[in-house]
Amino acid sequence: MRVICTSIASQMTRSLVITSLFIIVFGTIFLSWYNINHEKESYLHESQLQADLVVDLVTAPLAFFDVQGISTNINPLRKNSHVLLAVVYSADQTPLTSFNPHHRPIPQLNLPLGTRYDNTGWFPWDVEKLSTTLEIKQNSQLLGYLYIERKTDRITSFVMDLVKSVTIFSFGLLLFVYMVSRMLSKKILQPILTLTEAAKEVAQNNNYSLRVTHDKDDEIAYLYDAFNHLLSDTESLTTHLESRVASRTQELQDSLETLKKAQLQLVESEKMAALGNLVSGVAHEVNTPLGNAITGGSIIVRETQQLLRQIEEGTLKKSFMEQKLNILNETADLLLKSVNQAANLIRSFKRISVDQSVEDKQTFNLYEYLEEILLTFHNKLKKIPVTVHIEGDTKLVIKSYPGVYAQIISNFIQNSLLHGFNESTLDATITIRFQIDENNLILTYADNGAGMDEKIKKTAFEPFTTTKRNAGGTGLGLNIVYNLITQKLLGKIILNSETQKGASFTLTLPLEQSVSGEHLQA
C-alpha cells in the first residue's frame, strides 16, 4: 500500500507560501531600494532647497560686506539639527562666518559645486555625510560661496524604520498567505481527498459497490461521476468475470485439443512420409543386387542346361566342361556377392527402422551409423550428384537414441536435397563433422546449397514452415528436428545460413544424457 508522505494540501500550502515568500522578499528588496533612494533624493532635494534659501538670504549682506548680517541670515540652519557645519566664504574662498555647533575644523572650500553624499558605500543607506557647496551670485557677479555639511542619520533612521515596518508587514503577509492557502486548499482539495479515501477503500476491500456523492456542479462533479461510472463498470465486470473466464478457458482448452490432434496427425503424416521414403529407398537399393543375383541365377541355369544336354548327347568335351565350370564359378561368385550385398542392405534398413521404432538407448559407433544412414540416400545423392564427407573419430562409441540421430540426419539430407540442391548444382557437398568438447558432442551438418534468407531463418524451426509445399514439403521437418534435439536429446541447435552460401546446423548434445562414461571411447 502506498504511503502518502506529503499530502496535496501541504504541497499546495507550501507552494503558495514559498511563492509568496519569493514575491515578498524580492518586492521588499525592490521597494526598500526604491524608497531608500527616494528618501535620499528627497533629503538631498530638501537640503538643496534650504541651501538655496540661505544663499538668497546671505546674498545681500555679502554684497554689502555685512558679516553680522550674513551670520544672522544663516539662522534657518541653526534650527536644523542635521546640520553639522555651515560656512560662508568670500569670492576668494576666505571663510567669513560659520555655523559650527560641533566645533569641526573649518575646511578648505570643498568644490565641486552642488549637493552630494560623501563616501557612498555599496548599499544605498551606507553614506557618511551630505555636503553642499553653492556659489553666491548676484547679477552674474560671484560674491562668495556657501558650504554646508549635514548628518545622514535621517537616512539611517528611515532605513531602520523601513526594515521594521517591512519585517512586520512581511511576517503578517506570510501568515495571512499561509492561513488563506490552508483555507483554500481545504476547500478545494476536500472533495479530492474524499475521492482518495473512496479509492483507497475500493483498492483495499474490492468494494466496487461504493459510490461517492457530491452537491457541486464543477470539474469535481465530473470527476465524481466518472469515478462512479468506473466503479459501476468494474462491479459489472467483476460479477461476470468468473463465468466468462471459465467459458474462455473451456474454449481455449478445446482449441488446444484440436491443435494437438492436428499436430499429431501432421506428425504421423510426416512419419509415414519418412517411412515411405525409407521403403522406396530400400526397394531401390535392394533392386540392384537382386537384379544381379537373378542375372547370375539365369546364367547358371542356362550354362547348367547346356552341360546337361551335352552329357546326355555324349558330346561333352573336357575343354568345354572346364569353360562352363569357370563361367558357373564366376557367376555363382557374383550371385553370392549380390545376395550378400542385398542381405547387408536389408540388415542396415532393418536396423534403422528398428532404431526408429525402439525408444531405448543403445550403444553404437557414431561414424559407422552415419554411414549406414547415408546408404539409404545413396541413389538420391548420386542423382544430383552430392559428395558427402563425414569427419570425426571413426572409433567414437556413444550411448544414445540412434533412431533420433537417423531422423535428424535424414531430415537434414532431405532438406538439402529438396531445398538446397537441384540438378544444376555444381560440386554439391554435404559435410557432417563431429567432435567431443568437454562433456558435449558437437555435431555440425553443413551443405553448400541455396541457403536461406533471413525471413526463412527466423521461422525455420517453427512448424509448417516450408518453401516447397507444392513439391512435397510439409514444413514439419526442422520442427521435428528441433523437438528431438531439445526434448529427446536435451541439447541445443544453432542455424547459420546465408542466401547462396549454404546452410549449417550446429548441434550441442550433452554427453551426460546421450552417452555414459563407460561407453565413451576415444
Partner 1 sequence: MKKFFVALFCFFYGSSLLAVSEESIKAAYLERFTMFIQWPKPIESYTICVYDDDSFAQTLQKSYSSRLFNNHPLKVIPLKVGTPSEEMIKCHILYFRGSKPHQNEALLNTLRKNNVLMISDDDDDVKRGAMIGFYLQNNSFRFLINQRNLENADLSVSYKLLNFATVIEPTGGSK
Residue 292 sits at φ, ψ, to 5 deg, of: -60, -40
Whole-angstrom Cα distance, residue 210 to residue 1? 20
- Judged by CB under 8 A, the stretch of 51-59, 81-89, 358-366, 462-470 that binds partner 1 is 51-59
In the complex, least distance from residue 89 CB atom to partner 1, rounded to whole angstroms = 12
- Binds partner 1 (CB under 8 A): choice among 41, 56, 201, 233: 56
By CB under 8 A, tell whether 49 contacts partner 1.
no
Whole-angstrom Cα distance, residue 349 to residue 278? 8
- Binds partner 1 (CB under 8 A): choice among 138, 167, 304, 305: 138
By CB under 8 A, tell whether 71 contacts partner 1.
no
* Contact call for residues 228 and 211 (beta carbons, < 8 A): yes
In the complex, least distance from residue 87 CB atom to partner 1, rounded to whole angstroms = 15
In the complex, least distance from residue 60 CB atom to partner 1, rounded to whole angstroms = 3
- Binds partner 1 (CB under 8 A): choice among 10, 81, 94, 249: 94
Which of 137/433 has CB closer to partner 1?
Answer: 137
In the complex, least distance from residue 88 CB atom to partner 1, rounded to whole angstroms = 11
How many residues touch partner 1 (CB under 8 A)? 21
Q: Omega of the bond prior to 124 within 30 degrees of 0, cis?
A: no
- Binds partner 1 (CB under 8 A): choice among 67, 113, 252, 308: 67
Per the document, the length of the chain is 522
In the complex, least distance from residue 164 CB atom to partner 1, rounded to whole angstroms = 43
Which helix (H) or strand (E) segment is 372 a member of?
helix 366-375
Cell numbers given for 111: 568644490
Which of 56/225 has CB closer to partner 1?
Answer: 56
By CB under 8 A, tell whether 207 contacts partner 1.
no
CA 348, 349, 350 angle in degrees (round to 5)? 90
By CB under 8 A, tell whether 141 contacts partner 1.
yes
- Judged by CB under 8 A, the stretch of 42-50, 54-62, 166-174, 491-499 that binds partner 1 is 54-62
Number of H helices, E strands in the chain: 12, 12
- Judged by CB under 8 A, the stretch of 22-30, 136-144, 218-226, 487-495 that binds partner 1 is 136-144
By CB under 8 A, tell whether 63 contacts partner 1.
yes
Whole-angstrom Cα distance, residue 107 to residue 360? 126
- Judged by CB under 8 A, the stretch of 52-60, 196-204, 224-232, 272-280 that binds partner 1 is 52-60
520 residue type, one letter: L
* Contact call for residues 365 and 334 (beta carbons, < 8 A): no
By CB under 8 A, tell whether 59 contacts partner 1.
yes
In the complex, least distance from residue 139 CB atom to partner 1, rounded to whole angstroms = 4
By CB under 8 A, tell whether 508 contacts partner 1.
no
By CB under 8 A, tell whether 66 contacts partner 1.
yes
* Contact call for residues 181 and 12 (beta carbons, < 8 A): yes
In the complex, least distance from residue 65 CB atom to partner 1, rounded to whole angstroms = 5
488 residue type, one letter: K
Pairing between β-strand 386-391 and β-strand 362-365 as defined by DSSP bridges: unpaired
By CB under 8 A, tell whether 432 contacts partner 1.
no
By CB under 8 A, tell whether 90 contacts partner 1.
yes
- Binds partner 1 (CB under 8 A): choice among 30, 34, 64, 123: 64
- Judged by CB under 8 A, the stretch of 90-98, 401-409, 467-475, 486-494 that binds partner 1 is 90-98
Whole-angstrom Cα distance, residue 238 to residue 244? 10
* Contact call for residues 138 and 59 (beta carbons, < 8 A): yes
Buried b or exposed e, range 495-511, using 16+ CB within 10 angstroms: bebeeeebbbbebebeb
DSSP per position, 322-346: HHHHHHHHHHHHHHHHHHHHHHHHH
DSSP per position, 465-502: --S-GGGT--S-HHHHHHHIIIIIS--EEEEEE-TTS-
Interface residue list for partner 1 (CB under 8 A):
56-57, 59-61, 63-69, 90-92, 94, 96, 138-141
